[in-house]
Amino acid sequence: MKTLPILLLAVLFSCVNAQQNDEIQPSHNEIASKDSTFVVPSEYVADQFDYPVGKPDAKGYFNAQGFGDNTHLGDDWNGLGGGDSDLGDPVYAIADGYVTFAQEHNASWGNVIRIVHYLPDSSQVESLYAHCNEILVKENQWVSVGDQIGTIGNANGRYKAHLHLELRYEVGMPIGGGYDSDTKGYFDPTGYIERHRKVPNRD
Ligand SMILES: [Zn+2]
């Protein structure tokens, strides 16, 4: 009878250990490690980032709720006209990358697109576009910076139309709740985009 508590302890310990490892280990190369034949074409290495709306300078849009506001984990891009005036407007890929998710998640997230970006230093970041009205890309396809990937939506009328954009340095995390005081795994999208824009050099 003494073996059972010991066994339970061992199981508990291994669970805690696994959880700690999850938190410590960066998920860089997660996709590559799943499939050793996965190759990033050189033309899709993400060497620049840009805004997801109002190409190229977010013209006609404003960030109504920035990263960290009310523990927001992303940016909320809205048209200057307010309300649903931006419903159906184009949403663009913020960098070259690989679409890993493109479908409805649930009522509050609506249609979600997730793109993994492979950086020149071989690390990865992931962008997430939520509440889309339409999804115009498919999972497992490559996209280029500035490609239209969807349209701005309102999650079936749940919100006034806007784009919720997240940028994550921990790739492949659960979708989460969009708000959290713990920002581990997340970048400030606008700050990151501003530091990685190369618009004057674009063709
Ligand atoms: Zn949001």
Q: In CATH, what number is assigned to the domain containing residue 123?
A: 2.70.70.10
Q: Cis before residue 56, ω within 30 degrees of 0? A: yes
134 and 71 in a common domain: yes
Evaluate whether residue 35 is within a structural domain.
Answer: no
Examine the domain organization and report whether 99 and 173 are in the same domain: yes
The rounded distance, in Å, linking the Cα atoms of 131 and 137 is 15
pLDDT at 102: 98
Report d(CA 93, CA 49) in Å as an integer: 9
Q: How far is the CA of 3 from the centre of ligand 1 (A)?
A: 50
User: Domain check: are 23 and 51 in the same one?
Assistant: no
> Does any domain span residue 36?
no
Torsion of CA 50, 55, 56, 60, to 10 degrees: -110
Q: Residue 170: its pLDDT value, please?
A: 98
Distance, CA 19 to ligand 1 centroid (Å)?
27
Written as six digits, the tokens of 174 are 């659960």
Q: Number of folded domains in the chain?
A: 2
Contact 75, 29 (CB under 8 A): no
Same domain, 58 and 133: yes
Distance 101 CA to ligand 1 centre (A): 18
For residue 167, what pLDDT is reported?
A: 98
Task: State which residues form the domain around 11.
Answer: 3-28
Same domain assignment for residues 147 and 66: yes
CA of 99 to the centre of ligand 1 (A): 20
Q: What residues contact 47, with CB distance under 8 A and at least 6 apart?
A: 96, 119, 120, 198
What would you measure as the largest C-alpha separation in the chain, in angstroms?
73
User: Is residue 162 one of the residues assigned to a domain?
Assistant: yes
Same domain, 84 and 8: no
pLDDT tens for 126-138 read 999 999 999 999 9
Compute the distance from residue 197 Cα to the ligand 1 centre, in Å.
Answer: 22
108 and 9, same domain (yes or no):
no
Instruction: Identify whether 152 is part of a domain.
Output: yes
User: Do 68 and 119 belong to one domain?
Assistant: yes
pLDDT averaged per 10 residues, the chain (length 203): 45 39 40 70 97 94 98 98 97 98 97 98 97 98 98 96 98 97 98 90 51
Distance 65 CA to ligand 1 centre (A): 7
- The answer to whether position 33 is within a domain reads no
pLDDT at 200: 65
Based on the domain organization, do 58 and 24 belong to the same domain?
no
Residue 15's identity, in one-letter code, is C
Q: Are residues 20 and 113 in the same domain?
A: no
Nearest-angstrom CA–CA distance, 195 and 117: 16
- Predicted pLDDT of residue 37: 80
Count of Cβ atoms closer than 10 Å to residue 65 Cβ: 16
Cα 78 to ligand 1 centroid, rounded to whole Å? 10
In-domain check, residue 37: no
pLDDT at 56: 82
Position 19 in a domain: yes
Residues 6+ apart with CB under 8 A from 180: 71, 73
Q: Ligand 1: distance of its center to the CA of 76 in Å?
A: 5
Residue 145 near residue 51 (C-beta atoms within 8 A): no
